[in-house]
Chains A and B, each alone.
Chain A
Amino acid sequence: MTDISMTVNGKAVSGSVEGRTLLVDFLRNDLRLTGTHVGCDTSQCGACVVHVDGLAVKACTMFAAEADGAEVATIEGQANADGSLNVIQQAFQDHHGLQCGFCTPGMVMSAAALLKDNPKPTEAEIRDYLEGNICRCTGYHNIVKAIMAASGQDVGAIAAE
């Protein structure tokens, strides 16, 4: 077992893990931050995306011990300080960018990473960036729309009736 400590959503945490313990399991099982999900075993689905030292990372693909000393952000820490939804979360609600909600935390975390690097992405840039996030419910239509809206773009004309 290895003792590790890190900062998660601004709070210092520590634990004792096996060498094989994945970051996602440490978050879910030890810290009880179950908003980060596991949808596959091959780093394809993106339901487990978190930020490690500011970069989007699939938490199923990183050992917990590798995050020792890191700054980790998860979906549970994304809302505004007053508890209200942040701009991306609010856009997902406003534009029905989620259905079953299982892929949603990963989508929101990926969208946040995209918009940090590219504040006004085109539709094509958003679709390409989401290559590592699978959603089975929405056909991505409203996810792409929500991310465009979150970046301040006018989405009123998209596939209007």
Chain B
Amino acid sequence: MPKDGGIGAATTRREDVRFLTGKGTYTDDIQRFGQAAAVFARSQVANGLIKSIDTSAAAAMPGVLAIFTGDDFVDVGGNPAGWLINSRDGEPMKEPKRPVLAHGKVRHVGDAYAAVIAETAEQARDAVEAIEADIEELPAIVDMAAALAGDNYVHDEIETNQCFDWGWIEDNRAAVDEAIKNAPHVTTLELVNNRLVPNAVEPRSSMAEYNASDDSYVLHTTSQNPHLTRLLISAFVLGIPENKLTVIAPDVGGGFGSKIYHYGEEALVLAAAKKVGRPVRWTADRTESFLTDAHGRDHVTKIELACDKDGKFLAFRTETMANVGAYLSNFSTATPTFLHGTLMAGNYTVPVIYTNVKAVFTNTAPVDAYRGAGRPEATFSIERVIDKAARELGIDPMEIRRRNFIKADQFPYAGAAGLEYDSGDYHALMDKLEQKVDRAGFAARRAASEAKGKLRGLGINTYVEACGIAPSNLVGVLGSRVGLYDAATVRVNATGNLAIMVGAHSHGQGHETVFPQIVGEMLGIDPASIEIVHGDTSKIPFGMGTYGSRSLAVCGSAMVRATEKIIAKASKIAAHMLEASAEDVEFADGAFTVKGTDKSVGFGEVALKAYIPHEFPIEDIEPGLEETAFYDPANFTYPAGAYACEVEVDPDTGQVSIERFIAVDDVGNVMNPIIVQGQIHGGVGQGVGQALLEGAVYDSEGQLLTGSYMDYTMPRAADLPFVEIDNSCVTPCTHNPLGVKGCGEAGAIGSPATVVNAVVDALQSGGKDVTHIDMPLTPGRVWAAMQ
């Protein structure tokens, strides 16, 4: 049993109290004396030539303080891509400039070409209506295949719509072609990984303040990683020195990837705050969120699985077109490549694998990492084609996976897609899943459904993901332009309580509760005496923030290392106090004791001594008790799981209902089970949303047809069941101090194929020759597939 409130305890969250009483502080809640409002003029067309922008009438409107257009930002930098991908021929990817405001051309509906700063948001909105922009509409580039074939370009200067043509692993290409040519059985599947809108319920918002007395800025913004945002603004876009720019991400209402990135609105409000000499705030409305937040997924894929007659996998070959939208968002080029191609081995021993990804510019919103980011796409392709192969070969879906799993004694396992998995036990996960599913009872459940006129299906799926992003040396070789370590500072106060400043950012993950559980246990003190400080670049060490299921695995590891330094220094101080040598002092349960004696001094007494260093060995030990550690992981972490879903399909309407959903996940050691379960619930909710409900749809003119909550189907409470969760199969991560793997994305990665596999199984049971339906499996699509 875990200690009370320590590692592994199901501690309820301390941060809940402020959220439950309306005392959270989100960016839009912050109000400054004299603040003005920014509202953007956004393109109504997907592709257009800006011929002129007349702001004179708008400037004369009541309350207007300033108006900006693209002309005001031609001399500053663009918002860069954070990852350089080289094409198969060695050529670097195309990187057209992404300006603060569109200049020359608008490239997607919602692309901002001007901004009004006014006393109130209403006045600014009125003035935006009075801007006269002469924008000549050009033919929109929407379909990826047409974009690659045509000579109408999103960015004229690069004379192509192909950002890159990437092969992974290029040296394996010929071997894979050969394996597929000679294989006894090849299963082929063409599929679409549907485009999604992240839809954090808090819209993006930014508030900038400028202090003319020292030429400094403070930006409050909805960010998952304030230091990264500051770095991008300082080093690439506006050139504000980092020491003159504080970026604060206060309470943030969900991110799911969409708030990793720097957006032009942040740069605009900073420039505006300086120009008008007042704080300036912008908050997106929901339509702006749909039009301008980075979207997710949007792959068109052909996958082939070669296997022998017994279903033993021989090769995977994948060709994917990945939409990057109109501009390269910060990690858009990493998502379909090194977070996708490297995962194409799944949980399996596969001799050779080859993945080709063509990234395509279109006149749509930028596409970037969204919960799972590349790994849901990999898992969906692999697990759908395996399910199809199992059906073709007459092998049970659990059995075909078991025949190909990496065995527990094969770890660490270097797979053919280039990653080395440190630990895992996929057979144990599948065994646990089978036990929970009750397959013996499925026939009776199916019969009961059929008696109601419904078709019942069982879907099985496994996944592995690469999390704890990421080892900097490795990702540097692969093209990353940033390091992906994290950092923590542990400050022991004189009276023995603590402040821990962390680079990770909590926007729902519960860091304020879980991090003190860990350090409290390490130091033998009450977690309630530890505060977590995050989100403010003027207070925290330079960390890379929260995404990629990395907070605990990377920042948590930095926190452990810093705490170990605290214990080491405190041991020396304690040894002095106890008149013993440091080697003879041991630390346990919050006390330093001379081995073999009852001479002891408490952690709090040592802290006090560190800050009131009377009779202190000042020549050997510095006063104070504060330590910082940076942690750069040795490898990714590899959470894995086995999922099952039972659906009922109404053959008359195509309506799908989820009757059961079972998630068996190995996320490594669990620090707080309720937090882990909550993360999996949420991930499954988003994955089921992708499978059944969600999809961003652009028409042929590049208009977003799903631009509000009335058109884009968000999962509601009645769309989802209670999720049965099991985290009892644990193979700890072998290379980080807590043995943790991460749990934030698992549900979103593991669930889409589970649901689709279940629906296909249901339709097959009803005698329908349906092998695949593209997501979302709306009633219309399912009904049409049955006809």
Contacts and interface: CB of A to CB of B under 8 A. Distances in A.
Interface stretch (A51-59, A64-72, A96-104): A96-104
B494 interface: no
B668 interface: no
B714 interface: yes
Contact of A42 (B21, B683, B709): B709
A140 B286 contact: no
B22 A102 contact: no
Contacts of A37: 26, 201-202, 253
B678 interface: yes
Contact of B286 (A40, A101, A130, A158): A40
Given A103-B201, A137-B254, A141-B681, A35 B21 contact: yes
A161 B728 contact: yes
Contacts of A161: 724-728
Contacts of B727: 161
Contacts of B686: 136, 139
Interface centre among B15, B21, B201 (most CB of A within 10 A): B201
B509 interface: yes
A158 to B, nearest CB: 6
Contacts of A45: 201, 286, 709
Interface string A105-121: 10010000000000000
A74 B151 CA distance: 56
Contact of B708 (A40, A94, A143, A159): A40
B286 A39 contact: yes
A32 B202 CA distance: 18
Interface centre among A98, A99, A104, A140 (most CB of B within 10 A): A99
Given A41-B286, A96-B674, A99-B682, A33 B254 contact: no
Contacts of B201: 37, 39, 45, 47, 100, 102-103, 134-136
Nearest to B22: A35
A144 interface: yes
Contacts, number: 194
A85 B716 CA distance: 26
B709 A44 contact: yes
A136 B252 CA distance: 13
Interface string B190-234: 000000000111110000000000000000000000000000000
A140 B23 contact: no
A138 B251 contact: no
Contacts of B12: 93-94, 96
A127 B202 contact: no
A131 interface: yes
Interface string B270-304: 00000000000000011100000000000000000
Contacts of A126: 717
Contacts of A139: 681-686, 688, 715, 720, 723, 747
Contacts of B15: 101
Nearest to A144: B717
Interface string A26-52: 001100111111111110110100000
Interface string B4-35: 00000000110111111111111011010000
A151 interface: no
A101 to B, nearest CB: 3
B567 interface: no
Contacts of A32: 31
A5 B286 CA distance: 30
B411 interface: no
Interface string B511-553: 0000000000000000000000000000000000000000000
A101 B722 contact: no
B155 interface: no
